[in-house]
Amino acid sequence: MRTTRTVPARPVLLTALTLTTAGSLLLTPPIAAAEPGPPVHREAALDQHAARTPASAAQRALEPTGTTASGAIADDSRGYPRRQVLTPDPENPADKSIKLGLTPYHAIAPKLNALQALGDRVSVEVAGRSAGGHRLYLVTVTAPETARQARAQSRMRELIENAPALAAKSPEIKKTYKTPVFFNSNIHGNEWEGTDASLKLIERLATAGDARTRDLLAHSRLYFNITANPDGRIAGTRANAGGFDMNRDFVTASQPEVRAMRQIMTAKQPAVMLDLHGYVNGTLIEPTTPPHGENYEYDLFLKNTYANALGMEAAVNGLGYTPGKDGVEPVQIPFRDQEEGWDDWPPVFTPQYAAFHGTVAAHTIEIPMQVNNTAYDTLPVTELRRRSAINVDIAGATLRATLDFVRSRRASLLADQIEVFRRGAAGAAQVPVSSATVPGVPGIGPEDVYTTAFPRAYVIPAAGTAAARLVDHLLANDIRVTRAAHAFRLGGRSYAKGSYVVDMHQPKRGLANALLADGRDISDKVSVMYDISGWSLGRLWGATVETLPGVPYGVLRPVRAAAPVAYVAPRGDLRLRLDDPNEIAALNSLLRKGVEARLAADGSAIVPGSARRRAADAARAYDVAFRSTKLTGTTPVHRTRVAAAVTPGELFALREMNFEVTPVSTAVLNAGFDWSSVDALFVSAGLDHDDLNAAARTALDAFLDNHGLVGRGATGAALNSAAGLLAAKPVEGNGDANGVVRVRNSRSALMTGAPDHGFVYAPVWFTDLGPGVRVEQSYATGNPLVSGHWRPSEDGSGGPADAAGQAAVVSGPGAVLFGTEPLFRDHPKGEFAQVGRALFAMARASGSDEESG
């Protein structure tokens, strides 16, 4: 279930360090890194360097898909079946599935081995590994194919995306192309039953001899991601081992499981997909309420999604479960049955993301009977198993109904997928939904009409690590990017050689625009949003992104990956800017190795030339540049170990920046904590000064006498007040507000290089500032909200007008307080460095012993 609200890091084309005859150091491509970055860097590099080359449509249409970097799911040079014997996992009696009578994770590999042995229709591949190291299994069910037939399927799939006008006229595609269908299960680990329903369906399909099954498998490929979250399945948690809700991660793809799902969608190009969740009674089947994502071809999406929803509804209700007898309510379809509250606005959810890869019928399914959370701990085992059995039955009904839908509508589904890509490639206008454009769907009104004006192109000047990261992220999402071989002038402006251009006449323009555009203020459209409503990577990732009125033909070349940024000046002391999380990570790696560094007045780090070789290691690992400088720096910067009471997303971001982090909480401090092991404290969640026992409070106060606090949001501000650090009154805005906001930054070292946009989620600002408190960042005047949803609270307060011009980030002796969300879910990467610099500052707050020594 979604639940209502109450990085990848830039991959690096690594280079080798060589010594010229003149004695200067050069970075030359490519060999393995001397110092690998955190795991997220390596994972991202595998996926992003596996992105398909954006060559011409004709060329791409003739080329089979290659293997991924992990050799897993994109190889269509082989036929089907593709059997492999999976080694079993050790039996785990603590697996939370067992209590429910469901399949524990350790039983899945043996089950899949048995299913492959049933015949020639079932193939199993390992699509990747989870954050906790568990295998992710992709099962394909289809009629057998020779290698030649598989290559033909790949060629046709490429033609559909890259030459859709030709594909629409192809007799071969109409006759022989197999419709791809994707079933995703268990992305929330404690919503289990989709896995078991899929295994049951696979078993039936493996051996069924009826004509309908034979026809289905002759004309379809069915892909099953058996458990998208094995970590959570085992532990009984919604999140994976990294603490992430992965059904919120598709914009940034910070988690390995999400990158695996992304690769499935880009490599297999499903026309139809289901994402199986729980628990909403009665069973909830999308399509959704407004607002609808403005970058979709929503007329095609709604037409197919609503039709399939009706078929699934009939199948579920046809099982005969009733409220009185079984506790099962009738199916609900939000588009038809609700006014608002279950929207498809952000592409952070799996089905909404899939729509941008040509999926014209994509659904979240919420099966009905709750067995997780308090129910899991309080209900008798017999009742839990009764409910789970019902859920498996209902999930199975949605799967079977979808297969009937695919079989009966194969031709129109493929035609609509082709049309999605044709509109993008041709730059055609979107078609607003209406009773005329989407016949057969009742209740369409003006509240359902969402379209956008796509720019002709975007340009990303090649100006460092942030731009390179963004370009590689676009490529990993199967968005075509080109690079200018020469400087060009367009629309009265000049752009340098090496600038990246995203031509919006491309098949997946919707996804490109969803990632790069500012977005939209939809505060007046609905009363509250289900989840985030603003996420622009063009504004939040630290790179410059501008629109172009045209495309500079003749100077652009397609790219596979962004050009490497890594550089070390051949002589002199070295200056490392600290505007980017990779730069913070690089500095932390040097500090861990004992390299001495100093901070300059502009917030950059000065590294002595004697550490050039180590700087080169860091430059390669984190794709950053060390420039020559005559600055000496003013303040020593030391290795910073952080005690953090934070959200999982913030913990992930801190570690991505290579900080040494020890998670803490009220309970941890009350149990006794060794403050000598850390240098700074970051608090945003889970730490309440009033709930500390006397000893813990005394120890915390003593630490803050000589070190500093970085606080975020209401919790961080409350700790600041309780500890008596900064005289600043926090004001909480509407807790349902979120989005991209305009900000104004100070010129201090803390905010040097900070973007002029930030992100808020339950925004906070500061008033009644005392002596010595500095405003580092303020909300812009007027309406600071650029995109998202931010209304005043019911009493009329807490809206963007109240926040306008107010302090968003403040600093002073002993503390830095953030009212924005600079580390939110790996989204606002351009803001990460603000927190990094604040932690460096607080590690030396109040003249620590380490600094004075």
Amino acid, res. 623: D
- Cβ(204)–Cβ(286) under 8 Å? no
Six token digits for residue 836: 């990094």
Instruction: In whole angstroms, give the CA distance from residue 676 to residue 663.
Output: 15
Six token digits for residue 353: 């993301």
- Cβ(413)–Cβ(304) under 8 Å? yes
Q: Cβ contacts of residue 446 below 8 Å, gap of 6+?
A: none
Residue 342 Rama label (left phi>0; alpha psi -120 to 50; beta) = beta
Check residue 49 and report its DSSP letter: T
- Cβ(74)–Cβ(153) under 8 Å? no
Q: Give rounded-to-5 percent helix, strand, coil for the chain.
A: 35, 20, 45
Nearest-CA neighbor of 370 among 382, 360, 359, 379? 379
Residue corresponding to tokens 């968003």: 808
Catalytic residues: 366
- Cβ(231)–Cβ(89) under 8 Å? no
End-to-end CA distance of the chain: 54
Which long-range contacts (C-beta less than 8 Å, at least 24 apart) are formed by 553-557? 555/484, 555/485, 555/486, 555/488, 556/482, 556/483, 556/484, 556/485, 556/501, 556/503, 557/482, 557/483, 557/484, 557/485
Residue 37 Cα to chain centre, angstroms: 20
DSSP string, 742-760: EEEE-SSTTTTT--SEEEE
Residue 658 bridge partners (DSSP): none
Nearest-CA neighbor of 293 among 252, 244, 354? 354
Q: Cβ contacts of residue 554 below 8 Å, gap of 6+?
A: none
Residue corresponding to tokens 């194919």: 145
Instruction: In whole angstroms, give the CA distance from residue 349 to residue 362.
Output: 11
DSSP string, 800-812: HHHHTTSEEEEEE
Handedness of CA 434, 439, 441, 443 (dihedral sign): positive
**Measured CA distances, 669 to 180, 614, 686, 688, 697 (Å):** 52, 37, 11, 10, 8
Nearest-CA neighbor of 295 among 516, 521, 497, 500? 516
Cis status, amide bond into 622, omega within 30 of 0 = no
Instruction: In whole angstroms, give the CA distance from residue 109 to residue 86.
Output: 6
- Cβ(205)–Cβ(142) under 8 Å? no
